[in-house]
Amino acid sequence: MAIKLQSLKSSRKMYTWVTFTSYFSSFSVANIIQETPETYQIFKDSIFISDFESKIQFLKNKLHPERLNQVLDSTPDVNSSLELFKWASLQKKFKHNADTYYRIILKLGMSGNIDVMEGYCNEMVKEKCTGFGEALIGSLNCFVESCRVDAAFRVLSCVNSTSFKPNIGVLNGLMGAVVEEKRDFKDVLFVYKEMIKAGIVPNVDAVNCILKSLFQAGRDDTALDHYRRMYKKGCDPNSMTFEIVVNGLIDCDRVDESLVVLDEMIKAGCPQGLKFYTRIIPLFCGMNKLEVVMRLVRAMRASQISPDSLTYEVMIRSLCKNDQLCDAINLLDGMLDDDLMPDDDVLMDIVNGFLSLNQLYEAKQFLDDREIIKTCTHNALIGRFCIVGKFHVAKDMFNELLSRNVTDCMTWSILIRYVCENANMKKGMELLCRMIVSSFAPDSSTFSALILGKCKLGEIKDALMFYHQVVAHAWVIDSVSYAEFVTSLCQNKKFQEAADLFNYMSTKECPLQSSSFDTLVKGICETKNVDSAVKLFSLALCSEARWSSVSCKSILRGLGNIGHSKGVLIMLSRLVVDGCSLDGEIYGICLRAMVELCHVRDCALIFNMMLNEHILPDSKTLSKLFSLFSELHQLHTIFSPVDKHIFNCEIVDSATYNMLITGLWKEGYTSTASRLLDKMLEEGWVPDASTHALLMGYHQNEDPNFLQSSSRGTIVPDQVSSILMEGLGDE
């Protein structure tokens, strides 16, 4: 009795890198039912049976394996199928055959219920159903084709417990499925061991699976060792072996060793198909191993293989990137000979290669010789001819494109920009009119050119008019026009318009050149509108716009002028974080802010930094600093650096001397105060009344605010009418 196993249609494609031969025994996997009129009618009736009880009743009338198979086939629900199978098992005089076991094994395995599935596999073997071996191998084949690896593992173990041997193609397919799913190497090893147990000699496809799995597991040394041992075992590598090893070595950054294997492949004359080259060439292009790429190209030509379009383009772009234009052009010519049209980006790479070498005329000749009429390539050339001042050549190329009706908006905009940059707005407007007549609507590049031209002529109102058109279309202007526009607006004192422009362009994530931004911030700060400048600076930080220390210093200066001390500290921290250098003015602003905030430590730190850089504050700032430290009885903490640097200049006046002498004396540094008194007298100054009284021990004034007011530099009424008068007497 022949048992026929139903085929299983897989929705998943089998991978193509493993040679897979489907196992077909005497069991057909096409259909299960003998197409007699009776069985056909049974099948036709059974497919309409949906109710479980109805199916049971249907089977009770005439229970036999073929009838059960038809019911199982018409029952998509696995649990219902399992209940029907169990019910049939309990019926007297009924015995499952290999075909019914095959169906339930497939259903359970496909649904992932592999424990129950394995139980039925063992049960079928135990019952020694006729054809059980073929049923197991058939289900194994289906599971492999459907990439149900776990189910296939269980069936394989069961198969190996019998005398049946699976086909090596099925085992290679299972091993390939394991590798494709990137499972642990131990799973690949399991299949390999089962293969050995079955007495099957592994072939090159099995070794390929092992090699790929080893590379996936990061065991590249072991993989390379297995590759070397293939020759010793009489298993010659095939094209897939070389592809796996070369790719694996490249992926683990062992490029030099991959080149050795590549040489071995070429010397062995191992034929490779287009697929191998399309995979390997882009990898070497990405590593700039162009000499290897050209060797592979020669190997392809020797094998009468032509690269596909994508491989051609990858090679050409890589050669252009490395300034190997001759080789790139040769490949392009080969591509054209193969009737493959290169992508516009590839042609642009070659043209840009010429332009990077300033070979403009050679680029033009390249396009003319091959009759390449592409708007993008000609636009690039026209633009470069304009930049180098060869407007007549650019104009001729433009007219040629115009005659062929292949111009675009960018072509017109390039010419308009050139004449606008050279302050020929009349010609620019003429070109604009021709452009519109030719049914080309101006775009952002066109308006950028017009705005730039108007700015260069100082016609800011017209520039603003064009800019409003840009905003109306939600466009942006290019970076050069943007910077020129902001600068021109600032020069014309239109700071609000410039700020609005910056805000708009920032929302479009368009950065402004740092010099133009500095001009804008400086102009706004000079109008005393420091808050607006701070908002612009905050926006610049959030949008990652370019800025320099000039902007920070302008804002610092503005904040200092309005007495915004906390804002000064915030801007100072920004400067420090970005490593900007500080000059005397910025130091002074920061020092005054810290004095206002009574940040003694910060005052001392900044003051010492200034002195270390030989920068001295002005007399007013110095007086405020000393006054703060005097009030806090901390003058001695900063006097040492002061003593070394500050008295060699002329910024210390009589009031400052008096403040220092009085403060140091009060803090107990009498010898230092006495030395300062000597220095003061050498300068031709005499102490004021309060200082004199303190030094001479006169304390007639018991007012507690007396010395405090003196230390602040306030003029105190001299109760001794005059020190000089006292010394010389009235005349």
The parts of the chain modelled with pLDDT lower than 70 are: 1-51, 544-545, 640-651, 697-731
CA distance 631 to 710: 11
Which amino acid is residue 159, in one-letter code? V
Distances (CA, A) of 517 to 156, 223, 535: 73, 59, 13
Tell me, what's the pLDDT at 651?
Answer: 58
Neighbours of 114 (CB within 10 A): 20
CA 377 to chain centre: 29
- Separate counts of helices (H) and strands (E) for the chain: 41, 0
Return the structure tokens found at 40: 């056909």
Query: Left (φ > 0), alpha (ψ -120 to 50) or beta: where does 182 sit?
Result: left
Q: pTM of the predicted model, to two decimals?
A: 0.60
> What sign has the CA pseudo-torsion 722, 724, 730, 731?
negative
Are the C-beta atoms of 622 and 646 separated by less than 8 Å? yes
Closest CA to 245 of 270, 225, 224: 224
CA-to-CA separations, 539 to 130, 242, 494, 500, 544, in angstroms, rounded: 82, 56, 19, 12, 8
Name the fold adopted by 1-198: 1.25.40
- DSSP character at residue 583: -
297-300-301 Cα angle (round to 5)? 90
Q: How many CB atoms lie within 10 A of CB 727?
A: 8
Alpha helices in 161-238 (DSSP H): 168-180, 185-197, 204-216, 220-232
Contact predicate 240/17, CB 8 Å: yes
The CB-side HSE value for 432 (13 A sphere, CA atoms) comes to 22
Looking at residue 658, its pLDDT comes to: 84
In whole angstroms, what is the distance from residue 231 CA to residue 237 CA? 8
Number of CB atoms found within 10 A of residue 298's CB: 11
483 vs 505: CA distance, rounded Å: 11
Give the CA distances from residue 219 to residues 177, 224, 225, in Å, rounded to whole numbers and listed in that order. 19, 9, 10
**Distance between CA atoms of 176 and 555, rounded to whole angstroms?**
67
Q: How far is CA 59 from the centre of its chain?
A: 64
CB 34 within 8 A of CB 163: no
pLDDT of residue 428: 92
Where does CATH 1.25.40.10 sit in the chain?
1-198
Distance CA 229, CA 245 (A): 13
Closest to 397 measured CA to CA, from 421, 417, 419, 372: 372
Q: Would you tell me how many other CB atoms lie within 10 Å of the CB of residue 507?
A: 12
Q: With H, G, I as helix, E, B as strand and everything else as coil, classify residue 5.
A: coil
SS (H, E, C) 498-563: HHHHHHHHHHCCCCCCHHHHHHHHHHHHHCCCHHHHHHHHHHHHHCCCCCCHHHHHHHHHHHHHCC
Q: Which residues contact 382 (CB under 8 A, 6 or more apart)?
A: 394, 397, 398, 411, 414, 415
Contacts (Cβ under 8 Å, ≥6 apart) of 138:
5, 23, 25, 27, 29, 102
Residue type, 31: N
